[in-house]
């Protein structure tokens, strides 16, 4: 069974062989909820790639001492996987980013598409963005990730094209597309493999693979035109139509498999 993992920015200060004291952010859950105590092992991550492993040396209601046995740092995978998730009703967008985080997404972009039923009005934007952040953090800890996904600011409608203009590879998941995502990813992997054997590897291999998931009502023609104008490709997931909450996860699994990570 894997170690329980908790979050604290202080993980970045850890040194193997020393004791580091964590406050309420770790003790609140580790001691009062999980009932861990002296002698128990646990992990702490800082969300930016640092992972600390150690043994509880002291435990109190509001702090826990950890005898650090190991400190590791996870670098960012290349290419980075990015999910553009349209806002959806019934918290389906939250379900989408939760699953995406567990699968290994590196960045998420909340998108108020033209046909999105849900929205982030100005007065509630900070609160709703924080809700996304909480889901990303909780899902990262569930998945034992040391590096949490980066959440970008909300983008609206056709403005998404400008946001993605500098991205290497953009796939728009669209039920009317002819080419399958699996085919597009295979072709992209072949190009990257060929580039790895040449002197132009750094310039040819994609730095970001972006998957765009539209809202319940679908991506508008104007949005699709704007995206294809910057080089995005509309692709098909498969023979069935998936909900906005599950399409991104399906696409990310394909991408991870294509990259040889799964």
Output the pLDDT for position 29. Answer: 86
The residue segments making up the domain with residue 14 are 5-73
Looking at residue 25, which CATH number applies to its domain? 2.40.240.20
Output the pLDDT for position 191. Answer: 56
99 shares its domain with 156: yes
pTM for this one?
0.91
Output the pLDDT for position 199. Answer: 44
- Separation of alpha carbons 203 and 32, rounded Å: 51
Return phi, psi of residue 72, to 5°: -130, 160
Output the pLDDT for position 28. Answer: 87
Alpha-carbon distance values, 111 to 24, 83, 129 (Å): 34, 10, 12
69 shares its domain with 93: no
110 shares its domain with 148: yes
- Our CA angle for 13, 19, 21, nearest 5°, is 70
246 shares its domain with 192: yes
- Split into its structural domains, the chain has a count of 2
58 shares its domain with 103: no
| Domain end among 58, 73, 88 | 73
166 shares its domain with 120: yes
Candidates 207, 196, 225; CA nearest to 169 is: 207
86 shares its domain with 212: yes
Per-residue pLDDT of the chain (262 residues; tens, 9 = 90+): 689 999 999 999 999 999 999 999 999 889 888 899 999 999 999 999 999 999 999 998 899 999 999 999 999 989 999 999 999 999 999 999 999 999 999 999 999 999 999 999 999 999 999 999 999 999 999 999 999 999 999 999 999 999 999 998 999 999 999 999 999 999 887 655 554 455 444 444 569 999 999 999 999 999 999 999 999 999 999 999 999 999 999 999 999 999 999 9
- Separation of alpha carbons 5 and 51, rounded Å: 9
Looking at residue 148, which CATH number applies to its domain? 3.40.1280.10
- Separation of alpha carbons 168 and 148, rounded Å: 22
* Cβ pair 171, 184 in contact under 8 A: yes
| Domain end among 73, 93, 112 | 73
> 188 CB contacts (<8 Å, ≥6 apart)?
169, 206, 209, 258
| Domain end among 51, 73, 95 | 73
Neighbours of 222 (CB within 10 A): 12
């Amino acid at each position: 069974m894997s170690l329980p993992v908790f979050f604290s920015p202080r993980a970045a200060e850890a040194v193997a062989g020393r004791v580091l004291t964590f406050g309420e952010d770790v003790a609140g859950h580790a001691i009062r909820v999980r009932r861990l105590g002296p002698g128990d092992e646990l992990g702490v991550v800082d969300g930016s790639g640092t992972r600390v492993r150690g043994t509880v040396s002291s435990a109190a209601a509001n702090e826990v001492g950890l005898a650090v046995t190991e400190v590791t740092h996870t670098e960012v995978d290349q290419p980075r996987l990015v999910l553009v998730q349209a806002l959806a009703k019934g918290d389906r967008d939250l379900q989408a980013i939760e699953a995406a985080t567990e699968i290994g997404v590196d960045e998420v972009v909340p998108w108020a598409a033209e046909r999105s039923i849900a929205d982030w009005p100005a007065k509630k934007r900070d609160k709703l963005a924080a809700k996304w952040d909480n889901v990303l953090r909780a899902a990262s800890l569930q998945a034992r990730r040391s590096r949490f996904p980066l959440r970008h600011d909300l983008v609206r409608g056709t403005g998404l094209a400008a946001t993605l203009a500098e991205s290497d590879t953009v796939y728009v998941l669209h039920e009317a597309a002819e080419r399958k995502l699996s085919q597009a990813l295979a072709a992209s992997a072949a190009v990257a493999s060929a580039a790895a054997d040449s002197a132009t590897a750094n310039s040819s291999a994609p730095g970001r693979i972006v998957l765009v998931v539209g809202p319940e009502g679908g991506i508008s023609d104007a949005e699709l035109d704007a995206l294809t104008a910057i080089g995005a490709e509309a692709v098909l997931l498969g023979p069935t139509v998936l909900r906005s909450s599950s399409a991104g996860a399906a696409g990310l699994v394909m991408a991870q498999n294509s990259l040889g990570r799964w």
